[in-house]
Structures are given as C-alpha cells and as structure tokens.
Structure 1
Amino acid sequence: MRYLRIILLALLSLTGANAVAQYTPPPVTVSTEVIRNEKGEFFVHKVEMRQTLFSIAKAYNADVNQITADNPLLRGGLKAGDIVLIRKAGAPAQEENRPSESEQKKEIKYTQHVVRWYETIESIALKYKITAEELVALNKLTDSELRPREILLIPDGKGDNSVPSDNNPAGNERGLFSKSVANNHVVSLILPFNARNYEANPGTNNYLDFYQGFLIAANDAKEKGMNLRLKVIDNKEYQNSSLIASSGRIDGSGLVIGPVFADEISGLLDYTREKAIPLISPMDPSSDKFVEGNPQFLQVSVPVEIQQEALISSILPDSHVALFCEEGTQNSEQVNITRSILNSKGIQYTFYSYALLKGRSVHSQLVSKLNRSKENSVIILSNSEAFVSDILRNLNLINTRDGYKITLFGTPRWRNFDNVDIDYYHSMNLHLALQYNVDYSGEDVSRFLSRYRAMFGSEPSPYAFQAYDLGNFFLSSMMKYGEDFIDYIDEEPKTGMLQSSYRFERSKRGSGFINKGVRLIIYRPDYSIETRSFGR
C-alpha cells in the first residue's frame, strides 16, 4: 500500500510538471493609446484573458508596485476588460511587442471622461463632437447603459477636457480632490425676502430665518477650510425666475438653492440643466413634478406618499389594522394614498368614517371595527382638531373601560394641536411620521441654539433649523467630493442633522433626486418621546 501511494504521488508530480510546462501565458501587446494627466503620460492597456499584472509589467518594462500605485482599483484583483494605466517611462522589454515605427508616429493621444449619473453615450458623444459609434468602438462598449464614474477615453483635442482634477487617474477614488478644486465654491441662494407676509409684518419673515440658519452652516464650512462665495438673490426683484438666469447673477455657481415655490423654480430648470448645475428645491413639496427629466434637480421636501409609507411600515406585525376618517373625506388624497399603500403591502384592514355631529353614538361602531384579542393599530386620517379630539376621547374609553389594546397612528399636523388631550397621545403610543422634528435634548441642537441667539438675538424658527441642515449637508458634500458631489449624494453620511433626515434617491436614470428621509416619533406612556429615523 505504501508503494502504491509513492507511485501515485510520482505520477501526480509528473502530470503537474507536464501541465506547467505546456502552459504558455498569452502575449501582451503594447498599446499605442496614450493619455495625459497631471501625473504625466500613460499607456492605456486593456487587460485580456489570462494576462497577469506581472506579464503586463514585463511587456511594458514597468514596475509592478508603480502600476498598482497608479491604479488603486487593482488592489481588488485584475480581470479581463479592466483598463490599466502604465507610466510611459521605459521602453517595452519584449522587442516583438514593440509598436512599429509607423504605429509610433501615429500614436494617439487621449483624455479621460468620468461618467456622471445623468449622462448617456449620445450626450457624451455630442459634448466631445464625435459620433456615438466612435465612442462605442473606441471604448469597446458592449452595453448601452453606462455606469456612474466609469472612465471613457476621448481622442485628445475633441470638445472640452474632462480629466478629473484629483490625483487619481482612474477617477474612482473619492474625497481626493485637489485643494484648488475642493475648496473654492460659488453657491447661489434665492429667497423671496420681499414677500407679502414680510411686507405686512417684518418681524415674522420665515425666509429671513432660513437665510440666517444657512449663514451659520456657511460659517461652519468656512471654519473647516471651505473658500465659499455666497450669492444671495431676492427673487422679488425680478418679474419671473427666468430673468434671474438671463441676468447672469447665478453664472459660475456650483449649486443653486431655491427659489422657494414650484412655479418659480420652473424658470431656472432649462438654465441649470444646460449648465449641469445642481438645483435644490428647499421647501415646496409640489416641486417633485420637476424630478422627471432633470438629473441635476434635488427635491428636499418629503412627498406625502413617502411619509405615509414610513408610518405604515411601523405598524406592529400581526396586529389588527383599522382606518378611520371624518365623513366626507373618504376620497381625499391622504386617504387614497394610505389605502393604496396598505393594499400594496397586502395588509387587511377595517374602515369607518363618521360625521363629528354623531358624537357619542359612534362608540359601538368603532368597537365593531376593532379586535378584542389582538393589538389594534388604529390609523386616523384627519387634520381637523375637533374630529381628532372626539375620536381620541372615544378610543380612550374603548382602551381603558372596554380593555381593547390600541396603538395610534396620526398625521404630522397633530403636533400643533392645542386642544387635544396630550394624555391620549402617550397612553395609546401615538406614532407620527415627520419630515422635520427637533430633539431639543441633543448637544448639537443646544450648540446651534446658543450660536443663533448670540448672532441674531432671537429664537430660531423651524425654517432656521431646516436651512442649517440643508447647508451643512450640501456644503460638506461639496467640500468632500468637489464639483461632482451630486454623483455621491446618495452615499453621503446623514450625521449631524438637527431636525431633518436625508436619503436622496433617483427613481430612474436621467431623473433627479427625491428625499426619502423620514423621522418617526412615538409618544410613550411614561411621557417620553422616542425618535427613529427612516433613511439613515
């Protein structure tokens, strides 16, 4: 048996040696394609099947460590189809792989283009004044869909030069922008300072509060080293917002915030789309209609559908769901949206509506829609303080006297009710899905309050908190990623937000971003208020 093992090992050794002897690495042909950037000139080599980093380095007479340093993504492995940049320093070691003299004379120069979210093969070809077919052939593209941050080669001298300003030839490392690019930014802030509510009562101008909150965020950015030029524009000085674009006031901007209202934003869309300038709608939820077809557009206000979806996602599993509203509102937008979400999630529910004048007679009807043996998740869709007060009084009796377990789900406006017994909120664990909520116990909030009071001698309104969050988030993104910050906006950490939650998503390629960040607050029986974030 021992001799048999020895014989088998010997055969395996001979077979392995023979296999190695028969394997011949595929030849590496030196590329004639060359690009230039701030690091120098590089051969552009497209990796073929079974080629290794060592065989490529040998063919180009290059150092393996230098190739790896110039191509950081190679640390994740080498695969066929990868583009490798090789410094044009020494001549290739293998004479047979040298390009002929005629090929050397015809050596082509290239620049790089980093694909952005909204770009297509056709739009890039148009930008550089080449045909789509030339772009596809040159880059050996096999798919009509481009990947964000994908590197394309462009013949030198075509169109404008889109080589990234960072020190990474591959253009895929983030946060490495040179100081001259990362720290010099122009931001235009467009607000209606002369709006009618301000003319009637200068002491309650919400847009002035917004501006002051943004100023604190701008000061924070400057303290971190950002060279920021802030253009503040009163759009009440113009008959329409398209005149702002034609006036030249926002030329050179890397970011435009505002105007406030949807009908005013529409006048800037063509300009910002043509110039590829990110445009933020800071307040008006109805501006979400501009997301389609405007890849640089960002909608900050959270649509009602997203808020309701977050609220329904917090419903207790295996609970009985009941939906109540005031008679006459059964077909309102809010009710229809909620019923649609429940149906799409396959959640069974009972439904009942009644007129406020029915008063105490509705008690038995409400009980008939609940389940005594289960937890009842009761969704009340009403912004009427009188109706909410009445139905909560009835539900509290059903909860305390009849022994039904009830968890409430309401609308954001309930926070502002003055005449509803707050004890009902806590005793029945009220859940609210909000786009804005400030936790005044937080250290960041306390610090902001102190600074705002010191600078402006007044208390900040929700508009000031909102502007600080917006400014802090977007200015930090601009500092970190440079002028292409919008390509990374869906990956930016959402920390340090005072009253908002941000989670920007595109619905599809070629469209803008919608914020889907929601804060869920829960009133607890011990009179505490728990805060959760959807979208972190």
Structure 2
Amino acid sequence: MILVRNLLLPLNGSKCVWVLSAFLLLTACTPKVRVLRAPGSKAPSETETPTKKEDTVEKPDEEEAVDVNQIALLLPFELDKANPHAPSAADIKRSALALDFYQGFKLGLDALSAQGANFKVNVLDTRDDVGENTRIAKLAEVQDAALVVGPVYPKEIQVFGFNAQLDQALQISPLAATMPSEFNLSNLVTLTAPLPVHVRALAAHIADQYRQGDAVILYRTPDEASRQLLAPLKREIGRLKNGSIQVVEVEDEAGLESRVHLAGKNLLVLASTNKYEISPILEQLRRLQEELSYDIRLFGHPNWSKLAFDAEDGLAAFKTRITTSYYIDNGASDVRRFDQQYRSEFGLAPTEFAYKGYDAAYYFGSLLVKYGADYRSHLEETGYDGLHNVFKWEYNPAWGYVNNAISILQYSGGGFRPVN
C-alpha cells in the first residue's frame, strides 16, 4: 500500500503536478501506483510508504505557477472503508472503478504535459458519500479549480454541484448516463449520452431504413429497460416522416406472428436486457426468417454490447443494430499505443473506465491549454474523436452540456462493430 499526501512538485518546465488526498491501494492483484514525479524534478524517485517520513515540500514559485491549469478530480475510492494495513479483495473491488479512471486520466494529462502543458491536479476521495461531497465542495482545491471532474455517481453529482456553486469552472459528469435535467446544474457537462439521446438517434436510424410496405414493430417485455426505451421511441418515430410510419406493438409470440409482413422488411425493436427474455424471442425470429422467409431486421438495447451472444442466437442474420455512445477499435494505432503504455506503467490491461479517463483528460486538458479560463465558451465548437468517446455537445441553460454523439453498431463476426 502506498500513502501519498500533499505532494507538491516544483514547476520547472512543463509538468503535471498531482496532489492526492487519498490512499492508493497496492496489492498483488492491482497495478502498481507510483508517486507521480514531474520530469526533471529533483525530488526523490523512490516510492513513499506509510513508515517513511514525508520529504520537505518544495513549493512552486508564484511566478512560475501563473500558467498552471488547476483541476480537481473527484472519484469514489472509498478508502475510508479499507483496511490500511491489509486491503481485502472487497477493498480492491470497491476502489477499482475510481483507480482505473484515475490512471487513464493521468496518462491523458501526461500526454499533454509532454507537449509543454502545465497542470496541477487535486485528487479527492468522494467516498460515495453525500456528506463527504458536501464537505469537499467547499474546499479551496475545488473552489480554485478551473475544471472539476466528478463526482461520478448520480446521488453525489447534485449535492456536490449545489454546495460547490462553481462560477466559471465546469463540473464534468464522466460516467453517469442519468438525464441531466434531474440535476439542473447549468455548468454540468454530461459525457455519457443519456437514454433520450439514444432514443432520438435510434428513431432517426429506423426512419432512414424504413420504406413503404415495411413494418415497424416494438416487442414489449415486462422488464424496466424495455419500458424505458420503447415508450419514448414510439413517440419519436411518430414525429418523423410527417407521421407516415405506422408503429405497432406486440408482447407475445401470437402477437408477433399476426403483425409481421411477408412483403417488405420487418424492423423490429427488442429493448429487453434480460437474456432469459431475449433468447426465446430470438428463437421465434429465427423460425420466422429461416422457415417462413420473413425479412427480419432487429434493433436492440444499447446495453446489448455488454451481453454474451453467440452464433446460435442469430444476431448476424438479422443484421442486428444498436446505438452506442462509445466504441473501442482495438486495431487502431492510437488504441494499441495507449494499451501498451498502460500495461507498461500499471502492469495490466486498461478497462473501459481507463479509456474514459484518458479521453476526458486529453479533451478538457487540451481546451484548458488552448483557451485558459475561457475554455467553456469554446466547448460547443470543439468536438472530439478519442480512443473511446466522441464528444458533440448540445447546450441547455438549465442543465448544461450534454454529449449527443451516438454511433450505430451492427453485429457481425461475433461482436458489435460500427456501421460503415
């Protein structure tokens, strides 16, 4: 286990300075986390331990610190619940999301620092606790920051934003897919496109695929994911093409067989995320297509990308498509480069959250470097196509900036891939 507290590094040249107020866990099953030293720093490079006294803090020169971009990074390490002497598997699992995002974020700022940028990052443990978020919202590390990244959980986002009352700094919601209208924070930036954005994109895609004589069928199942997506999707499709697309709903095998068209395509939306609900429906769709020659085009829930499908499910034959707000192309050179760097520095493969951390750091760090305190006014005009995310913003004065970048994936070769 490594203890890193109040570590300040001299700002000679281009550097990224990290000030951590949390313990970073280190066990055999987790990546090694080093004390982050700026290039060229005269500070000792060895790892600090709980038994070693902290070195004398070398404070940055005021004149040198003028161009340093200050960032507050708020993540739920929940290290107050961990055993500081012998972290358990549960302790490691609890902190994994925060640690992965933090490590990706670090590499994103490292890339900018190598190009000449200066950053000071205060890392704060939100503990997944409303009271702790209320407390840290008033800290100087937050109030003086040009950019605040986090908290990540919905219950923390609103209480932190209400108490922080940030003026110019943006508050980045890096992971939550909650509709930002639930928070009503005008300076909030929602990176993960919420469900209504997916609904609009899916409706537009279905309308684009639709031709006269086709059938649009919504297959209702009792689970919540299906209810949340299908009702707004029906309304949205009804608004398109001057209301000429007729949408029908079914909820069982008999209803489906009475509604499919032999002439034309059957554009069928199945929004369940319960594999036990999905499997028998797929079996019926295979029979309709293979034995009775119906043309079935299937559209699923965005979370289908995380479900385990195989060749027997028949998704490829239905040209199954889903919407997504992110995609990792493992064959891309920049992705392979990041993967190699992450493995070299931390000793294991990056997760989805590490990619998200890198993209957030590189995008917003670049804006800070280019525009300084005025970066907020350039957000809408500055898109981003990163390792994992694409950013395209829509602004609402009541709830801030929402990422509207949605892609369409089609199932082929054992997985979902972008439609060309």
Asked if TM exceeds 0.5, the reply is yes
| CA displacement at 1:252 relative to structure 2 | 1.8
SS in 1 for 2:142: coil
In structure 2, distance between residues paired with 1:529 and 1:246: 44
The aligned counterpart of 1:501 is 390
One-letter amino acid of the counterpart of residue 514, structure 1: V
In structure 2, distance between residues paired with 1:254 and 1:523: 42
| CA displacement at 1:327 relative to structure 2 | 4.6
Q: Does 2:317 align with 1:317?
A: no
SS in 1 for 2:361: helix
Structure 1 residues 272 and 405, CA gap change in structure 2 (3 angstroms): same
Q: Does 2:89 align with 1:191?
A: no
Q: Does 2:288 align with 1:390?
A: no
Q: Percent identity?
A: 23
State which of 312, 322, 343 in structure 1 corresponds to 2:238.
343
In structure 2, distance between residues paired with 1:514 and 1:219: 26
The aligned counterpart of 2:106 is 215
Q: Deviations over 1:29-84 (max 9, x none)?
A: xxxxxxxxxxxxxxxxxxxxxxxxxxxxxxxxxxxxxxxxxxxxxxxxxxxxxxxx
The aligned counterpart of 1:437 is 327
The aligned counterpart of 1:375 is 265
TM-score between both structures, scaled by the size of structure 2: 0.75
Structure 1 residues 474 and 328, CA gap change in structure 2 (3 angstroms): closer
Structure 1 residues 287 and 194, CA gap change in structure 2 (3 angstroms): farther
Consecutive unaligned residues of structure 1, counting only runs of 5 or more, are 1-179, 355-361
In structure 1, distance between residues paired with 2:248 and 2:232: 16
In structure 2, distance between residues paired with 1:246 and 1:407: 53
Q: CA RMSD in A?
A: 2.8
| CA displacement at 1:243 relative to structure 2 | 1.0
SS in 2 for 1:279: strand
State which of 429, 445, 456 in structure 1 corresponds to 2:346.
456
State which of 220, 223, 227 in structure 2 corresponds to 1:332.
227
> Contact 2:326 / 2:388 at 8 angstroms: preserved in 1?
yes
SS in 1 for 2:143: coil
Q: Which has the higher contact order (CA 8 A, sep 6+)?
A: 2
In structure 1, distance between residues paired with 2:224 and 2:189: 32
Q: Does 2:414 align with 1:521?
A: no
Mapping of residues 33-432 of structure 1, within 5 Å: 183-194=67-78, 201-204=90-93, 205-236=96-127, 239-270=131-162, 272-286=164-178, 288-289=180-181, 292=184, 294-315=185-206, 316-318=209-211, 319-327=214-222, 332-345=227-240, 346=243, 347-354=245-252, 362=253, 365-418=255-308, 421=311, 424-432=314-322
| CA displacement at 1:234 relative to structure 2 | 1.0
> Contact 1:240 / 1:264 at 8 angstroms: preserved in 2?
no
One-letter amino acid of the counterpart of residue 297, structure 1: L
One-letter amino acid of the counterpart of residue 234, structure 2: R
| CA displacement at 1:217 relative to structure 2 | 0.2
Q: Deviations over 1:186-232 (max 9, x none)?
A: 00101111266996524431110010010110101101211111111
In structure 2, distance between residues paired with 1:337 and 1:468: 33
> Contact 2:100 / 2:350 at 8 angstroms: preserved in 1?
yes
Consecutive unaligned residues of structure 2, counting only runs of 5 or more, are 1-63
The aligned counterpart of 1:465 is 355
Structure 1 residues 287 and 474, CA gap change in structure 2 (3 angstroms): same
Count residues in correspondence. Answer: 343
In structure 2, distance between residues paired with 1:236 and 1:527: 38
In structure 2, distance between residues paired with 1:401 and 1:473: 51
| CA displacement at 1:485 relative to structure 2 | 0.9
Q: Deviations over 1:163-193 (max 9, x none)?
A: xxxxxxxxxxxxxxxxx99952000101111
One-letter amino acid of the counterpart of residue 71, structure 2: V
| CA displacement at 1:368 relative to structure 2 | 1.8
